[in-house]
Structure 1
Amino acid sequence: MKKNAIVFTGGGSAGHVTPNIAIINELSQGEWDIHYIGSIKGIEKELISEMNIPYYGISSGKLRRYMDKENIKDLFRVLKGIIEARKLLKRLKPKLVFSKGGFVSVPVIIAASSLKIPIYIHESDLTPGLANKISQRFADRIFTSFDEAASHFPARKTTAIGSPIRREIFSGEKERGREFIGFTDERPILTVMGGSLGAKKMNETIRESLQELTSIYQIVHLCGKGQKDESLINIKGYRQFEYISNELADILAATDTVVTRGGSNAIFEFLALKLPMLIIPLTKKQSRGDQIQNAESFLKKGFSLTLEEENLTKESLLESLDKLEKRRGQIINNMQASPMSDALTVLIKEINKHRR
């Protein structure tokens, strides 16, 4: 029996890819012929290729909210990407295109719309990124992680469901995690995650505070590609990695407290795992402010504390972590009371409606 084709798209950061991976892992490959369209050199290519999913790179231009001479060049890149995506979609004949956003998704969405292929999009953040602002007019269904985000889209086709969380994130074992890191049960474990690209000021402040932090915690520092400090490899109770993939579930199972950026997918995973978190969001100089809004939402709901990067120092970090530990019990209670739905199950059910 011929399988139904489905095309996923989204890229630019791991946050635009990992939810797609979560969905792909749940779809029956006996019923679905799965393909991925992304950028030619983006992180999505590396992550998807590891899964042996057919991957197609297309031309894409950066989407900017400001005037820049590069906008003209990028307009032509987007037009080229639309032509390339349309050619691919005509050949693949998917029953559905599913997008997680990022600038590479826009040419795919426009091409799919021109071919009358059904389109689903998911918005992770509290307010939509520019790619999903453009894509919403072409989408048949829109899903959001935050209830607050739904108000930014047409009500008739928008549903707030939470974030699609990878099932494997729940499969970790505490003892296996401790063994992998080389830690004991004598002190709690603090995991620091700066995102797939790292976080320079976070990394520097953590390292500046190591003497004080290692008297309280054992520290796992996921610092980003090229961000390891080889002079610190022999410090007891401190392990650093550029990036962790297969062992992440075990490390999180062993983790007691998290210091993290404010990316939606990550903080929803920590919420699901009931891990108290200190969120240090990207500044508005580094982003459109979405992580600040995500952090504010979690703070209001009592899931976390926030420390603005502009205020990040050794002293403020230690003070914030102390405050977090004092509120640990209440934060975990708030997380346990959260009415978060199983977004992954919802999406799989909706996608499967497009089977023959």
Structure 2
Amino acid sequence: MNIAITGGHITPALAVIEELQKINGVTITVIGRRKALDSENTESFEFEQVMKKNLRFINLKTGRVTRTVSLQSIYNLFLFPVGFVSSLFILKKIRPHVVLSFGGYIALPVSLIAYLLHIPVFTHEQTIRTGFANKIISRFCKKVFISYEESADDFPRQKVLISGNPVRSEILMVKKKLFSTPARPIIYITGGSLGSHSVNVHIEVILDALLKQFMVIHQVGNVAQYGDWERMSKRKSEYYFPVKHIMDDEIGWVYSVADIVVGRCGANTVTELIVCNLPAVLIPLPWSSRGEQREGADFLQQSGVAQVFEQDRDSTELLKTIQSVYENRSKYKKMYEQLIPQRTRILSASKKIADEITAV
């Protein structure tokens, strides 16, 4: 069975890929974005991860809807037809039996062309607030997998299956250690797959104070625009370990040694925190699509397992919040007991999705 996987959310896609690879006779092609940003030559996290799994990767250049009017947004309008034509050629070439979408602007042309070619399409919605692309894809796909019951009303009811948000099995497995752990508490700081310049700036300001008490693992990202990696990598020391990305074979060890997590709160981070029962300081991206990071941050804070820090506040307040969450980490961890049903659903999501799409 030949399966094409596409979309903007690579982490749950990788989790389902891992499950599909257990099935004999399944071949997988990933259609995605090779470069981290259109304006840079840096390879994307999704491309790096897919290459590590020795899977076929096909780059797709297409347009996206932006909220501002600029030269880039005008350029995007011209890329829309390019994306649809390219999708036609790609699908004609690889001839998949099924297309599995994970939403986002990359998934829309691939899914629509697949439908026109009579290829069954499935899609997964990662967040509570449904994305624009998935609202369209849901009109012609066979089934919509959702992570949260709250998003069910956004789709045709007969197509909805509450699967949960798939997570990589690696987050619960220690495969590769990055260093020998010191006799001090460890903070894992993450800005998402691309890293976060705003988070990096805050950490840069309070880093000396953090290193008096903590060992810091800092996922900086590799976006060249702000030069964060070039600056932060020069500060590597006994108690500061900056990296561009945390890879699949490293993330389980990082979560196993971390006392708390600090950073952005996209759907993947929220899901992984629930699975790993880790107290967190969450810094929602103010302009995240449909406010999805705010939703995730508020959900975990209201559940009593995290604190929210607004990125426009002073860096010294972030330091105090980190210290407070660390000092009260036992209380936060205990509150995760109420999220056991969500954790159970998350851990079965990959198999549920793999079983559905291979039953076609």
Sort the TM-score into its range (normalised by shorter chain).
0.7 to 0.9
State the match for 1:183 in structure 2: 181
Per-residue deviation, 1:69:
6.3
Equivalent in 82, 85, 105 of residue 83 of structure 1:
85
Alignment of 1:267-278 (within 5 A): 267-278=270-281
Letter in 2 for 1:38: G
2:199 corresponds to: 202
Unaligned runs of 5+ in 2: 37-43
CA distance in 1, matches of 2:233, 2:93: 49
Equivalent position of 1:289 in the other structure: 291
Of 272-281 and 89-98, the range deviating more from structure 2: 89-98
1: CA distance, partners of 2:189 / 2:276: 15
Q: CA deviation at 1:9?
A: 0.4
The change in CA–CA distance for 1:68 and 1:134 in structure 2 (over 3 A counts) is: farther
Matches within 5 A, 1:274-353: 274-284=277-287, 287-311=289-313, 313-338=314-339, 339-340=341-342, 341=345, 342-353=348-359
More helix by share: 2
Of 11, 33, 40, 1:18 maps to 11
* Residue matched to 1:96: 98
Which one of 212, 218, 221 corresponds to residue 221 of structure 1? 218
The structure-2 alpha-carbon separation of the partners of 1:326 and 1:41, relative to structure 1 and needing over 3 Å to count, comes to closer
- Structure 1 contact 227–242 (Cα < 8 Å) conserved: no
Q: 223-232 or 19-28: which moved more?
A: 223-232
CA contact (8 A) 1:39 1:60 kept: no
Structure 1, residues 86-136: CA drift from partner, whole Å, max 9, x if none?
Answer: 233234332211111221111101101112222111111221222223222
CA offsets 1:223-270 (integer angstroms, 9 cap, x no match):
111523244223x42221122213222122111110020111122112
Q: Report if the CA contact (8 A) 1:123-1:145 is conserved.
A: yes
Decide whether the 8 Å contact of 1:214 with 1:237 is kept in 2. yes
Identify which of 139, 144, 147 aligns with 1:145: 147
SS at match of 2:5: strand
1:61 maps to which residue? 63
CA RMSD in angstroms comes to 2.3
Identity fraction in percent: 30
Instruction: Quote the Cα distance in structure 2 between the aligned partners of 1:218 and 1:40.
Output: 33
Task: Assess if the C-alpha contact under 8 Å between 1:40 and 1:59 holds in 2.
Answer: no
Match of 1:32 in 2: 26
Q: Please report the TM-score for the alignment, with normalisation by the length of structure 1.
A: 0.87
Give the CA deviation at 1:163: 1.2
User: Gapped runs of 5+ residues in structure 1?
Assistant: none
**Correspondence 1:245-256 to 2 at 5 A:** 245=247, 246-256=249-259
Could you tell me how far apart the structure 1 residues matched to 2:285 and 2:352 are? 30
Q: Match for residue 131 of structure 1?
A: 133
Distance 1:164 1:194, change over 3 A: same
